[in-house]
Structure 1
Amino acid sequence: MHVTRVNLWRFILIGLAAGVLSGLFGVGGGIVMVPLLSLVGVLPRLASGTSLAATVPISLVGVITYAAHGALDLIPGLAIGGGTFLGAYVGTWLLQRIRPKALQITFALVMLATAVRLFIALPGDGDPFTPTLGRVLLLVVFGVVVGALSGLLGIGGGLVIVPVLVLGMGIDATIAKGASLVAILPGGVSGTLGNLRNHNVDLGMATAIGLSGAAGTVLGGWLVQVIDQRVAMALFTGLLVISALQMARKALNSPR
């Protein structure tokens, strides 16, 4: 699909929606971009590749926005992001050897359970990340798992990273979202380079979505600073439920 004056505004609106979600929840925005791009007639593979390319400027501006608000801790994000590099290769290797349908359904149920856990006891103010060698290594291993799951299931890393940092490590939710955006960047860059080689990215489309999404991320990053953190996490649980239902529907409709 070529970028024309008519559909340019569609891509700008898609980017704005994805950017606000990215800044507010610490996710890449693919959960919005891929379905909406498919809805306007973009082929699935091109929608995924273009969406991933657009997450790079969106996540980068999100990181800068969180840093400007004093809510960024690079260490957990870099530790997880480093692990996702290896994990992405693991996930790609496993994808050729296992059937992901059962794993998709299982993971959808895990996401639903996580949403229920978050909603029942919405976390309030958590703690900053205290770096120790053991915790950093644990996050690297976790990053490998996130990268593998992303490669296998096509999920956005932020949907996994934020709950684990908040529930598993007791990290403040806003700090966890900023760290998630840091962790998303390496995979977005490497994945986009691979997609460009395979001609799975429309650069004009990705530019329109990425630039408007970057503006939306600034708004989302501002909103997360001014709204009650429990309200923000309640909204995040809704996003988890939507993602889980999408994954379950995709698995049930898959022939494999």
Structure 2
Amino acid sequence: MIEFVTYLLFGTVLGTLGGLFGIGGGLIAIPLLGVWVGLDQQIAQGTALVMVVPNVMLALWRYHQRNRIEWRHALALASMGFCFAWLGSIWAVGIDAQTMRMGFVAFLVALSAYNLIRMFAAPPSMSSQMRYAWPWLGVLGAASGTMGGLFGVGGAVVATPVLTSLFGTSQVVAQGLSLALALPSTGVTLATYAVHQQVDWLIGVPLAVGGLMSISWGVKVAHALPERLLRGLFCAFLVLCAVLLALKV
């Protein structure tokens, strides 16, 4: 019972972060499950997905309520993301756990560096119109889906900075579209991990319940924060996740 309550509380914190950054909460859940709980990398990723999938569903709806998502763009991202996430997840379950963990750390470090560069670069011009549509959204969906399938998370954190810097969207619009991309890809990735016995449901379920209790509040905070502050917090969040997971390598 104590463990259930502990994971429930973890879930509420992760749900808040997932809503705030539009990533479902799994990015920090994986380092926590690996470092503190001691799960192997693939099991940590699969268990985190139990929380991520319902969190993404609810966060996507909340983002759409506050800032309507253009479903033409979402479909282009999600369809390609789904196909390539499936391929990435099949690849992931066959990789050595230590190699997977090192790859995940490298992925976070590269993503953190990219976001730090963007923090000090001239802010991109925003537009009510997407600069590029299909097929470039499909290319982004394929790349993000592959990362999501391989690492259990990553699709949204890859897509969000690309959408703001190259496609010219605001941070909250990018986070909403990234959630639309993440929903089908995280679903197929969870199914693949579950089939290969890489999920601890006793940990994942209370994490999911806690996340659903708090993710709406995280979305509300995201829309209340200034654009630059939200980006700065997102970058700091990535650096923290990389440091946590590097402790386990």
The code of the aligned residue for 2:148 comes to S
- Answer yes or no: is the 8 Å Cα contact 1:85–1:186 preserved in 2: yes
Superposed CA RMSD: 3.0
- Residues 49 and 152, structure 2, Cα contact 8 Å, conserved in 1: no
Once the two structures are TM-superposed, the CA of residue 93 in structure 1 deviates from its matched residue by: 6.6
Q: Give the deviation of 1:220 after TM superposition.
A: 0.6
How far is the alpha carbon of 1:243 from its aligned partner? Answer: 4.0
Corresponding residue of 2:207 = 209
Q: How many residues in Structure 1 have an aligned counterpart in Structure 2?
A: 245
Q: Give the equivalent residue in structure 1 for 2:47.
A: 50
Shift in CA distance, 204/243, structure 1 to aligned 2, threshold 3 Å:
closer
Q: Is 1:15 aligned with 2:11?
A: yes
How many Å separate the matches in 1 of 2:198 and 2:106? 29
Secondary structure, aligned partner of 2:17: helix
Q: Could you tell me how far apart the structure 1 residues matched to 2:67 and 2:108 are? A: 34
Q: Give the SS at the match of 2:134.
A: helix
Residue 234 (structure 1) aligned with residue 229 (structure 2): no
In structure 2, relative to structure 1, the CA distance for the partners of 1:210 and 1:87 (3 Å cut) is: same
- Flag the 1:198–1:57 CA change in 2: closer, same or farther, 3 A: same
Partner of 2:114: 114
SS in 2 for 1:199: coil
Give the gaps of 5 or more residues in structure 2: none
The one-letter code of the counterpart of 2:39 is L
- Residue number in structure 2 paired with 1:126: 126
Shift of 1:129: 4.5
- One-letter code aligned to 1:169: F
Indicate the larger mover: 105-114 or 168-177: 105-114
Alignment CA distance shift 1:86-1:39 (3 Å)? same
Helix, strand or coil: the match of 2:133?
A: helix
Comparing 104-113 and 221-230, the one that deviates more: 104-113
Quickly say closer, same or farther: Cα 1:78–1:245, change in 2 above 3 A: farther
Q: Which runs of 5+ in 1 are unaligned?
A: none
Pairwise CA distance, 1:81:
1.8
Could you tell me the TM-score, scaled by structure 1's length? 0.81
Q: Does 1:190 align with 2:184?
A: no
CA change 1:105–1:58 in 2 (3 A) is closer
- Cα distance between partner residues in 1 of 2:14 and 2:223: 18
User: Does the CA-based 8 Å contact 1:53-1:188 persist in structure 2?
Assistant: no
Q: 2: distance between equivalents of 1:192 and 1:107?
A: 20
Q: Which residue of 1 aligns with 2:28?
A: 32
For residues 153 and 40 of structure 1, the distance between their equivalents in structure 2, rounded to whole angstroms, comes to: 19
Candidates 198, 201, 205, aligned match of 1:200: 198
Kindly tell me: are residues 106 and 204 of structure 1, through their superposed partners in 2, closer, same or farther at Cα, counting changes over 3 Å?
A: closer
- 8 Å CA contact retained: 1:122, 1:230: no
Q: How far apart are 1:62 and its partner, in Å? A: 0.1
User: Does structure 1 retain, via aligned residues, the 8 Å contact 2:156–2:182?
Assistant: yes
C-alpha distance in 1 between matches for 2:122 and 2:27: 23
**Residue type of the alignment partner of 1:50:** T
